[in-house]
Amino acid sequence: MKKIIVAFAVAFGLHLSAQAGFAEGASAYNARNYALALKEISPLAKAGNADAQHLLGLMYYMGRGVARDYKQAFSWHHKAALQGKADAQYVVGAMYYTGNSVPQDQKHAVTWFRRAAEQGHAEAQHALGLMYRYHQAGMPQDMVLAYMLWNLAAASGNRNAVDQRAAISRQMTQEQIEEAQSLSRTWRPGTPLPTASRTGDGS
């Protein structure tokens, strides 16, 4: 579990959105002008803009421009997550997994990680891979699925996934590696991730 929790201790970044009305707030945030970011983002978040809700959630999570408030952070991220914002879904999953401001619920954590991972979110794919590798959160131990997920995350630039994939490959058969590579080649973002493999059962 420690490996998984450490994986969540990341500096939450912000990807600029092209949406009109949001770019100014995001630019202010990235320039560390948090007062201006808050002024620009708050009305958009309250109006239901998922990108703005995610950014406001980050500001509360990090204590930037506002007093740090994990409950507010969760609330705003959850609103964005329900609208399909993958970054927010990942944060909601992490907060459920660690029990940060909400009752710890690993089943909910897996649900939100999977939603984000199925959109191609690299950090969520990495986290889900850890759960398969270490038989956490009620997930079966499956080295093939762990490798597959880390392969996908690595392709998106997740360095931790690169290291994890290299380590697990030394414990896998060639048949398992080939199945994992095949699964990652054929999967496409926006489609369900497999929940079982043919050769990866570690039990």
Residues 154 and 102 in one domain: no
Which of 82, 117, 152 is the endpoint of a domain?
117
Residues 163 and 198 in one domain: yes
Residue numbers of the domain that contains 136? 123-203
Other beta carbons within 10 Å of 48: 11
Estimate the crossing angle of helix 86-98 against helix 70-82, to 10 degrees: 130
- The 10s digit of each residue's pLDDT in 146-199 is 999 999 999 999 999 999 999 999 999 999 999 999 999 999 999 999 999 999
- The 10s digit of each residue's pLDDT in 139-154 is 999 999 999 999 999 9
Task: Please report, to the nearest 10 degrees, the dihedral formed by the alpha carbons of residues 48, 54, 60, 66 taken in order.
Answer: -60
Which of 84, 117, 150 is the endpoint of a domain?
117
Residue 67: which CATH number?
1.25.40.10
Residues 23 and 110 in one domain: yes
Distance between CA atoms of residues 5 and 70, nearest Å:
17
pTM: 0.88
Which of 117, 150, 165 is the endpoint of a domain?
117
Residues 10 and 110 in one domain: yes
- Strand-pair partners of 201: 142
Residues 99 and 9 in one domain: yes
Residues 14 and 56 in one domain: yes
Other beta carbons within 10 Å of 95: 26
pLDDT for 200: 78
- 20 pLDDT band (50/70/90 cuts)? low
Residues 195 and 162 in one domain: yes
On whether the CB atoms of residues 81 and 92 are closer than 8 A, the answer is yes
The residue count for the chain: 203
Residues 94 and 11 in one domain: yes
Residues 75 and 146 in one domain: no
Share of the chain above pLDDT 70, in %: 89
Please provide the DSSP assignment of 116-162 as one string.
HHTTT-HHHHHHHHHHHHHT-TTPPPBHHHHHHHHHHHHHTT-HHHH
Q: How many domains does the chain have?
A: 2
- 51 pLDDT band (50/70/90 cuts)? very high
